[in-house]
Structure 1
Amino acid sequence: MIRHLWQQLFSRFLKKYHLSQYFLRSASFKELHQSSYAQQVGQQLSAQLKKAAKHSQADVYSAYTTHRDGLTENEAAQRRERYGLNELNQEKPLSWWHHLWYCYKNPFNILLTILAIVAAMTDDMTGTIIISVMVVLSTLLRFWQESKSNKAAEALKSMVSNSASVYRRGLSYQQLNDMAQRYGIDLKENPGTIFEIPTKYLVPGDVIRLSAGDMVPADCRIVFAKDLFVSQAAMTGESMPVEKFADLLDPDQENAMALDNIVFMGTNIVSGSASAVVLSTGNESYFGALAKRVSNNQPVSTSFQMGVNQVSWLLIRFMLVMAPIVLFINGFTKGDWTEALLFALSVAVGLTPEMLPMIVTSTLAKGAVFLSRKKVIVKRLDAIQNFGAMDVLCTDKTGTLTQDKIFLSKHIDVMGNVSEPVLLLAYINSYHQTGLKNLLDIAVLEHADQNVKMEKLRYHKLDEIPFDFDRRRMSVVVRTPSKRVRIITKGAVEEMLSTCRFVEINHEVVELTPERIEQIKANSQQYNHQGLRVIALAYRDVEQEQTTFSVADEQNLTLCGFLAFLDPPKETASQAISALHQHGVTVKVLTGDNEFVTQKVCAEIGLAADQMLLGEQVERMSEEQLKQAVEKYQIFAKLNPMHKERIVMKLKENGHVVGFLGDGINDAAALKSADIGISVDSAVDIAKESADLILLEKSLLILEQGVLEGRRTFANMLKYIKMTASSNFGNVFSVLIASAFLPFLPMLPIHLLVQNLLYDVSQIAIPFDDVDEEALQQPQRWQPQEIGRFMIFFGPISSIFDILTFALMWYVFAANTPEQQSLFQSGWFVVGLLTQTLIVHMIRTAKIPFIQSRAALPLMVMTGIIMAVGIFLPMGPLAEYFKLQALPLSYFLYLPLILIGYMILIQLMKSYYIKRYGWQ
């Protein structure tokens, strides 16, 4: 029962303080949809959604008092006042009193509070005051540190926000300027009546445009859709995207999530495009209603949380065992059970790592501030430690290993000759597509000259067949100047060849024979070997009467030429990969590009490119075969999104801490699956939502610095835990020995409490300590069993010198009677505090302290002050209040010898420990 209670308390303490816009995990939503709560929430919302789904488009506009061209800015402002911002309650920061309570309610503070109440009930007011001071100090320090870090995180988070394409009508010149200031938009990049505004400003009745890669910003009714596929995994747990339409196909559908023309906040567009009317926002959305329930559920623990949990339970179990032993030994040997109880409570306080929450928060906050200076936005604080533990980094190729700028190098026919008609068709295709314009489209649009731009005005768009990652192509349908209806398709070479029946050679259309296919493949591969990405272009004229088009129309095409793009490697890529390798991080490339271009780029930046695994091979592998393959191969090419996710999952199953760097919609699944998802400010919405860190600069050099800061953060947290565990164990071991033989208590409860309070104060500076370079070379993870071994190994060393102190006080200074116990206790108080403080410097490094490795100035100053206070208390005017007494001056002749001997033995044992077990 007690264990269960503590686990509940501790799991609440471990609950993450999320910083991402939507912190809720899909698993939680899936469970909710399988629970009765989904039905309860759904009844009212479902009725509204089903009513909107059954409306005609005209009725939707009428019901929400809007227009197919959107709201006016005045109408939007009025509705914003009425409905509020499109935000979830959970996104708002805690009020200061809620935050203060959150900082207090960890199991260590609760334990100390119980001990303070017990002390008060036994009339030990001094103990009550000291324990209360420790609780207040721990709570306020954590509150102060987290308040600072949260403010910094909110400021950083405001730099990365999702936006929505919203229609506005009836705008005057002044209103345009007002919008630019209110929403922080660039009017040059927002021509016409569609504007990119932050999603939080959306209101019911807004008309928005959705395309591949967008997060759906609110619950919406679709009024236009073209090959629209939506991933609802975040809401329902469905792994496959579902197709949505402008009309309701099944009027009898009772399940709100299955309505054909409704999309929900928190889902994302996989492919296609749509226009939609916003129905409900913020907490009134289906997502918001579920979020309110999820916020009351226990989140799934991360590896970081589980590590802290295991370590803390180790210390708590140790305390629950040792405190009763101390109680019974002193009760039976001294006969005063009340005093024995107080002493046992003081031992329990001394064993409680009450500063752990503050130390963890402080070190993580310091890491977040450091990374923010390196232009890295930390959405989730505990991701910093995962950064340091990462031993495999999976990264996309384009824009990460290569420059974030692609150039159109060639526009040629199938014979390899420069072709202006090919460039024109490519320009028309890229210009008219409404889906996600990638770097290839931008390169085509930037390459075309004024003649091509003028010529495209003679072509009128009729329809579009959006890109998806299965077909790996997309099409637009236009009416040509000669009034023909033409499908213009571009895509990956092999996928395009599978849909082509003819080929245009020297302006003559001939059949595409197997021999010609092989020759075309060979020609394109030559460009690939030169490091060029090749895209095929084809067309087909169709009947004038045809008005709607789909994927089925992408057949019997005529191949007309190729586009070859140059995607040069970044100058810093080779240096960054080398640095990551030196720090124990293996870099693996996961790309959808073909094997030849990938091989060329990887060879140029120093990655072994002789062996490569292709997506089609991944597809055929069993789970066990893939687990072995992900260890063997460094480069994976021609992958689809599911391949990337599967590779990441297998690496995790093999025991790796996996990071994934990506920015596209095809990276979203892998970003969610990785231990630490890393994206960039320019990424699509779903990629940024899935990531834990956002880079304002897409550079592997920044990642290397982040890895080192993560390890530095972890090393400082580990210092506190090792110091606390070993010194506490040593103190209790000494107490047990002394209690069994002394006719009085070796130290009064007040002495233990003051000693522990002073020691805790000295730890405040640990987050600001330096870390040896050697400790940053390899990934670091939580190893609770190693901490337990460390505690048992080093704790008794301090007990050796405690026993020497006992002998010194007993035989040399004759403090061997109950009347002289104050002298005895003063002597051990000073030695205990000084050795406990010195252990900070001994254990913070694997090197020789003060000589080979010195602590940072804040830690040096803090420990120096505490040691001085420890000597002052028995020697100064406060001694009587704390039931201490002045020590003879000859004591201070022995004190340095004890401390020097202690440090020498610790160093010798540390050398032995490092040789046998290593040093984390």
Structure 2
Amino acid sequence: MSFYSQSIAACFENVKSGFNGLSSEDAALRARKFKSERIEKQKQSGLLKKFLMQFADLMIMILLASALVSFIIGAINHTSSEIIDGAVILAIVLMNAVFGILQENKAEKSLLALEKMSQPESVILRDGKQIKIKTEIIVPGDVIVLEAGTILPADCRLIESSSLYVDESSLTGESHAVEKDANCICKESTPLSERKNMVYNGTNVVKGRGLALVVSVGKASELGKIAGALSNTKKELTPLQKGIKDLGKIITYLILGMAVVTFIIEIIAKHNPMEAFLTAVAISVAAIPESMPAVITIIMSLGVSRLAKQRAIVKHMHSVETLGCCDVICSDKTGTITQNKMEIKAIYCDNKLSYSRSNIGKDFPLLLSAMVLCNDCSVSKNGYMGDPTEIALVNFAKKYGYDKTICEQKSKRLFDVPFDSERKLMSTINMYEGQKTAFVKGAVDMLLARCTKLLISGIELELTPARKNEILAVNAMMASKALRVLGFAVKSVGSENGYDENQLTFVGLVGMMDPPRPEVKNAVKKCRKAGMRPIMITGDHAETAFAVAKEIGIVSKRSEIMTGVEIDALSDEQLKERLRSVNVFARVSPDNKTRIVDGLKSLGHVVAMTGDGVNDAASMKKASIGIGMGITGTDVAKEVADIIITDDNFATIVVAVEEGRKVYKNIQKTVKFLFSANMGEILALFFATLIFPQYTFLLPIQILFVNLITDSLPAIALGVEPAECDLMEERPREKGKGMFSDGNGWMTIVMGFVQTALTISSFCIGLYIYGEASAMSMAFYTLNIVQFFYLISIRTEQSIFKSNPFANKFCNIAVLFAGGLLALIAATPLHKVLRLATLTGFEWLWILLVSIVMLVASEICKYFLRRNQKGKAKK
């Protein structure tokens, strides 16, 4: 029903209510009737569902399958080693699930803390009396009392209004407060942003007073309709999730291939088919890097914790890594790039234009008085409340000793003529210095049309056409710098009744703007250097957007800006072409934002989209990663966001990107380390079995020690490796590139074969010089110690001679712990538990030498990788 096209009386009739609101009995009946219409917050999953969701991953499923196979083989062979293997794998999977649940719960608690910041109650008329009730139980027919600071809990038809201005930016994207008029009746075709007699759920009153009749609540409200539409938009997998999914497929194929080859070899060797099958399965299970999912989860969890300290709440852990490969950041202007508060930047007074606010002139005190007296903002606990423009005026005047409260006590307001959209002026008549004086402010052209004089150095002069043109030229100059300009005038009012808003004396101009945050300019530079493209998307005017974007370095010329009207005129293909060069979008609608995101993604970009309003929610969900604002963000925007920035600061987003890159690099190093280690281990086992079928190469308990201690602990320590010094100078990785692209896969394979060769060489030396027991022990110690040297190298992409060996104390602790444990095993009777022999000095020297070979081989591989990447960068 279009309440905006109906009279107030008709609206009362339709909702069966009146000026005094509902009776308590009627309200109670309606509360039950409209309970189903409430917008239910997305229910948090129960503990069991969260637990089960942790297993919806191919790698985890492979691990569960391998654990099951281990249990079955152990049961068939009546051996405990396979059962221990299965138990360990199962324990790792469960640990991974626990980490995931803990992180989700932590994010939920942070979000609940943010929700407590929202207004929970509204003042309404019930039985003709004003009462305060919870917003969630408001029903159609209730009459809400509006004043500055009121947040609308429902869609309402205004029934009374007095100088009422509402901030609808959360719904429409319009940055300036909108004037409302209860007596206006709109046409049926009037768009939402122009319905002057309506106020909407989620918007807030910045100035004035009024009464509003509730006509739609919950799902039936405009906010509720948008929230409902969002449920149909599915979120795609993050790049890391896709990578791990592909990795799981590769591991599956490798395991199947290895099982088939092993089975064939065992059959050829004339073994029993069942024994051949069990041997093939056992080797395949050993090839699985069982600690990898848990290690990746731990690394991401550590990244999430670090981001929380940087004022970014991560709802989904994989979102951290997505930020790391993001190459486009689409950001709102107001509050994210700017400070979300108006500041006075220029003063024109006493025939002087000043940007430094010094040497302004004799008439400055009168201008300051006009700023605070012709002003409707009110004092609150946290400062001033009201229109941002008026707050800027009183804050500025206060710096010069003109406190609004004190000034109003000295110069009592007698009456006022509120601002309206036709006059574009506001007047107050005050008893100023013992005389009735009118203070007037408003649009410069409208004000000058009513002025006949101007004040210069305390002397009233005639406002000639030449002087008027001079003032208009100053106004144009200020406007060209994206300043919002207000004119001020005064008039002595006689004792006779009435006030005529003419024959005014011009006092001066004030230019103001919402300035960029001080840290944003450097953040934009950092983005550029890191190969990321910052894009500003705003509902503000093009000139304002251009001025802010130019100041912080997003654009340098006007051709890099597009408006929503221009976007509407283009097809999707035409828009895609423009998206290659345009970096600022002004006066955009929610549909424009969604088209921009879709266009950028179709060009192959990984897009981060910020938002705080309901109108941003659809584009945030469409983006590769949605970033919500913690302070100004609506519940709907926070609901769809993957990450919430608690300080609403663009610079925090850039910090999060850097953390995301670091997380990905560390995961990549960890995967390479674990894959090389597992490959070296399983290939050594495979070839040794093939070459020396009559000898035992390694025992299951020894393999278990390598997997749990030597592989896992250093891998976890890699997760806290500090970022490379040039991390934010690299270009974001291309979409679709996996962890093994750019030569990393070849390095992993090469290092796996190197480890295999070194381990088998140790086995051969031990076998032909000292016998089987020493051979097995040398292979075991080599398999462990080469990992330590490989860890030293893989920590950094640069040469180890250019890195700080003490940068990651956790890696050093992990090596010392694992190395110390090996030394303890070798020097005490503990070696008997692992069935190891006591080695000679020559054997230890050999193990040390081959371990150094591992380090040298890794450094050579890294050198060729760096050369390959530099060659690609030049192209």
Q: TM-score, normalised by structure 2?
A: 0.69
How big is the shift at 1:911? 0.8
1:795-810 pair list within 5 angstroms: 795-810=749-764
Query: Does structure 2 retain, via aligned residues, the 8 Å contact 1:612–1:636?
Result: no
Query: Does structure 1 retain, via aligned residues, the 8 Å contact 2:610–2:628?
Result: yes
2:811 maps to: 859
1:650 maps to: 599
How big is the shift at 1:904? 0.7
Distance, in Å, in 2 between the alignment partners of 1:286 and 1:646 is 20
2:526 maps to: 579
1:326-337 pair list within 5 angstroms: 326-333=262-269, 335-337=271-273
Given the alignment, which residue of 709, 714, 722 partners 2:672?
Answer: 722
Distance, in Å, in 1 between the alignment partners of 2:669 and 2:289 is 13
Given the alignment, which residue of 563, 566, 571 partners 1:618?
Answer: 566
Query: Does structure 1 retain, via aligned residues, the 8 Å contact 2:328–2:606?
Result: yes
Which deviations, in whole Å up to 9, do the C-alpha atoms of 1:402-446 show, x marking residues without a partner? 444313556999x99999999799968989xxxx96633543576
Is it true that 1:310 corresponds to 2:310 in the alignment?
Answer: no
2:194 maps to: none
Distance, in Å, in 2 between the alignment partners of 1:784 and 1:214 is 50
1:447-486 pair list within 5 angstroms: 458=415
Is it true that 1:378 corresponds to 2:330 in the alignment?
Answer: no
How big is the shift at 1:866? 2.7
Is it true that 1:814 corresponds to 2:776 in the alignment?
Answer: no
Distance, in Å, in 2 between the alignment partners of 1:917 and 1:214 is 57
1:896 maps to: 848
Distance, in Å, in 2 between the alignment partners of 1:154 and 1:132 is 33
Distance, in Å, in 2 between the alignment partners of 1:859 and 1:63 is 70
Give the SS at the match of 2:557: coil
Which deviations, in whole Å up to 9, do the C-alpha atoms of 1:285-332 show, x marking residues without a partner? 9989x99x979x985433443333333333333333333333332343
Q: Which letter does structure 2 place at the counterpart of 1:656?
A: H
CA RMSD of aligned residues (A): 6.1
Cα gap change, 1:403/1:757 in structure 2, threshold over 3 Å: closer, same or farther?
Answer: closer
5+ long unaligned stretches in structure 1: 1-51, 172-191, 235-244, 250-260, 466-472, 482-487, 508-516, 538-559
How big is the shift at 1:521? 8.5
Distance, in Å, in 1 between the alignment partners of 2:599 and 2:305 is 33
1:554 maps to: none
Give the SS at the match of 1:752: helix
Q: Which letter does structure 2 place at the counterpart of 1:325?
A: V
Cα gap change, 1:355/1:490 in structure 2, threshold over 3 Å: closer, same or farther?
Answer: farther
Cα gap change, 1:626/1:130 in structure 2, threshold over 3 Å: closer, same or farther?
Answer: same
Distance, in Å, in 2 between the alignment partners of 1:654 and 1:735 is 47
5+ long unaligned stretches in structure 2: 1-11, 173-181, 187-196, 354-362, 379-384, 398-403, 431-439, 454-467, 489-506
How big is the shift at 1:564? 3.5
Distance, in Å, in 2 between the alignment partners of 1:298 and 1:664 is 20
Which deviations, in whole Å up to 9, do the C-alpha atoms of 1:753-797 show, x marking residues without a partner? 443233234433333232322234325447554516533443243
1:839 maps to: 790
How big is the shift at 1:604? 4.4
2:388 maps to: 439
Distance, in Å, in 2 between the alignment partners of 1:286 and 1:424 is 37
Which deviations, in whole Å up to 9, do the C-alpha atoms of 1:572-629 show, x marking residues without a partner? 3433333333333333344444455555545544555234344447334443443333
Distance, in Å, in 1 between the alignment partners of 2:86 and 2:148 is 58
Give the SS at the match of 2:865: helix
Query: Does structure 2 retain, via aligned residues, the 8 Å contact 1:134–1:757?
Result: no
Q: Which letter does structure 2 place at the counterpart of 1:302?
A: T
Distance, in Å, in 2 between the alignment partners of 1:264 and 1:341 is 69
2:862 maps to: 910
Given the alignment, which residue of 294, 297, 314 partners 1:358?
Answer: 294
Distance, in Å, in 1 between the alignment partners of 2:50 and 2:737 is 29
Given the alignment, which residue of 250, 256, 277 partners 1:320?
Answer: 256
Q: Which letter does structure 1 place at the counterpart of 2:480?
A: H
1:697 maps to: 647
Distance, in Å, in 2 between the alignment partners of 1:457 and 1:796 is 87
1:460-539 pair list within 5 angstroms: 504=450, 506=452, 524-534=475-485
How big is the shift at 1:636? 4.4
How big is the shift at 1:132? 1.0
Q: Which letter does structure 1 place at the counterpart of 2:749?
A: G
1:209-358 pair list within 5 angstroms: 275=212, 300-333=236-269, 335-358=271-294
Q: What number of residue pairs does the alignment pair up? A: 765
Which deviations, in whole Å up to 9, do the C-alpha atoms of 1:330-363 show, x marking residues without a partner? 3433614445444433433344343344333323
Q: Which letter does structure 2 place at the counterpart of 1:348?
A: S
Q: Which letter does structure 1 place at the counterpart of 2:745?
A: M
% identity of equivalent residues: 22
Cα gap change, 1:756/1:848 in structure 2, threshold over 3 Å: closer, same or farther?
Answer: same
Cα gap change, 1:391/1:93 in structure 2, threshold over 3 Å: closer, same or farther?
Answer: same
Give the SS at the match of 1:326: helix
How big is the shift at 1:863? 3.1
Cα gap change, 1:710/1:842 in structure 2, threshold over 3 Å: closer, same or farther?
Answer: same
How big is the shift at 1:898? 1.0
Give the SS at the match of 1:301: coil
Cα gap change, 1:534/1:134 in structure 2, threshold over 3 Å: closer, same or farther?
Answer: same
Query: Does structure 2 retain, via aligned residues, the 8 Å contact 1:127–1:753?
Result: no
Query: Does structure 2 retain, via aligned residues, the 8 Å contact 1:708–1:776?
Result: yes
Given the alignment, which residue of 5, 8, 16 partners 1:56?
Answer: 16
Which deviations, in whole Å up to 9, do the C-alpha atoms of 1:190-246 show, x marking residues without a partner? xx9687x997x757798767999999868x897969999999999xxxxxxxxxx99
Distance, in Å, in 2 between the alignment partners of 1:887 and 1:474 is 98
Which deviations, in whole Å up to 9, do the C-alpha atoms of 1:646-675 show, x marking residues without a partner? 444433332233334555677556545443
Give the SS at the match of 2:656: helix
Q: Which letter does structure 1 place at the counterpart of 2:254?
A: F
Distance, in Å, in 1 between the alignment partners of 2:556 and 2:288 is 53
1:630 maps to: 579
Distance, in Å, in 2 between the alignment partners of 1:152 and 1:645 is 27
Query: Does structure 2 retain, via aligned residues, the 8 Å contact 1:733–1:796?
Result: no
How big is the shift at 1:895? 0.5
1:734-749 pair list within 5 angstroms: 734-744=684-694, 746-749=697-700
Distance, in Å, in 2 between the alignment partners of 1:337 and 1:128 is 22
Which deviations, in whole Å up to 9, do the C-alpha atoms of 1:122-172 show, x marking residues without a partner? 33332112221232134225515742673366146513556347334799x
Query: Does structure 1 retain, via aligned residues, the 8 Å contact 2:537–2:588?
Result: yes
Given the alignment, which residue of 745, 748, 751 partners 1:791?
Answer: 745
Give the SS at the match of 1:588: strand
1:131 maps to: 86
Q: TM-score, normalised by structure 1?
A: 0.66
Given the alignment, which residue of 714, 725, 731 partners 1:773?
Answer: 725
Moved more, 832-841 or 710-719: 832-841
Q: Which letter does structure 1 place at the counterpart of 2:268?
A: F
How big is the shift at 1:717? 1.7
